[in-house]
Structure 1
Amino acid sequence: MTEGLRERKKRQTRQRISETALGLFVARGFDGVTIAEVAAAADVSVNTLYNYFAAKEDLVLPPDQASPQRLADIVRARQPGESAARAVLDRLRDELRRRDRAVGLTAGFGPVFEMMRAAPTLTARLEDLGRQMTDALAAVLTEETGAAPGDQTPRVVASQIGWFHSLVYGEIGRRIVAGEKPATIAAALLELLDVVEETLGERALTYAIREG
């Protein structure tokens, strides 16, 4: 579907606001910049900014990119014969190989990560996001497997998947701070995922296989 003029202008405005905000946050710290300052620098009103971003944290972690449904969506889209855990492992491997923005391996992400790590409200948002991802995934696994009330297996499997998903992001962040290049980080994380797969129990790796 072709993007209309109105949609293109809205997308461009949203992108301008986001890029302006990140530039200010990196230069002065997340807590050192107000919404009004971001709006003025992006040449929009405060009301317009809030039409695009409901909260200040959304300027750094927009819900469409940092979604609580990320793990659940990956599992919902898995192929026939693929388990929930393998679907997430395969997606992470694909994102690492492509240096995808989803895993923070794009050029210039280092200063953004440092800014995020220094902001308590952003680190709290990330921690809460991880919990929400696990909760949403557990709900999907419960529904798809028809788990009986009181069966804790979907929650345990979702927690294991959430654990290695968080492990990957934490390791990427550590290596970014250490100054490693994206290609080096990606290679190391692909090896880490191999270890994760070898370490996970067979029950987790074969749980919720999609029927053909």
Structure 2
Amino acid sequence: MLRRFVCFVLGKNGVTHNMLDDIHNHWKRAEAVRIKCLGVPTLDMDNVCFHLEEKSGGKIIYRHINILILYRGRNYDPQNRPVIPLMLWKPYAPIYPKLVKNVADGLTFEETKEMRNRGLHSPALMKLTRNGVYVNVVARVREAFETEEVIRLDCTHVGMSDCKRIGVKLRDLAPCVPILFKDEQIILWRGKRDQERNSDISDANAKSSGA
């Protein structure tokens, strides 16, 4: 069934103007297209599906791991398709705030240094490949943080640019604190969760005893 649909590859740049234009061009003669997602966007497939549906006006009717089928809808009219400006050049990359601070929030300089060394010398939680499928990475990181304070992801051959993209995604999705990118290794710290949880419990106990 899946093979009869035209296949698009959605890579690290996500849902682009050119890809949306190609989808609408194929919808003129086919009801649906197949989309194979690879690389950084697969860390958050819910987000990929949301943006595909919102920007194309179609509907995801099939989803399995990193494979999607995007349906144009029964009442699709190619004459009234949205006008999508093509990107004929690659825009300059935006300037983001510094991802890794010299001293992580909640730690001293020495504690940050010790945490980085511990992460570099710990066994890798996972080995990620270039343009791989990362759909289970967030769950694995969250699970590891139940018992580990700092973890390492081996991203050899992934490329430093993609390493940082992965770090940004995990920072928001896990959530966690990236504390080092070195030699295509990502070191993640789970943050001060336990202390915050304990302080919340202490505050709640103090309020209940005061009442």
TM-score, normalised with respect to structure 2:
0.27
Structure with higher RCO (Cα < 8 A, 6+ apart):
1
Tell me which structure has the larger Cα radius of gyration.
2
TM-score of the two chains, using structure 1 as the length reference: 0.26
- The structure richer in strand per residue is 2
User: Going by fraction, where is helix more abundant, 1 or 2?
Assistant: 1
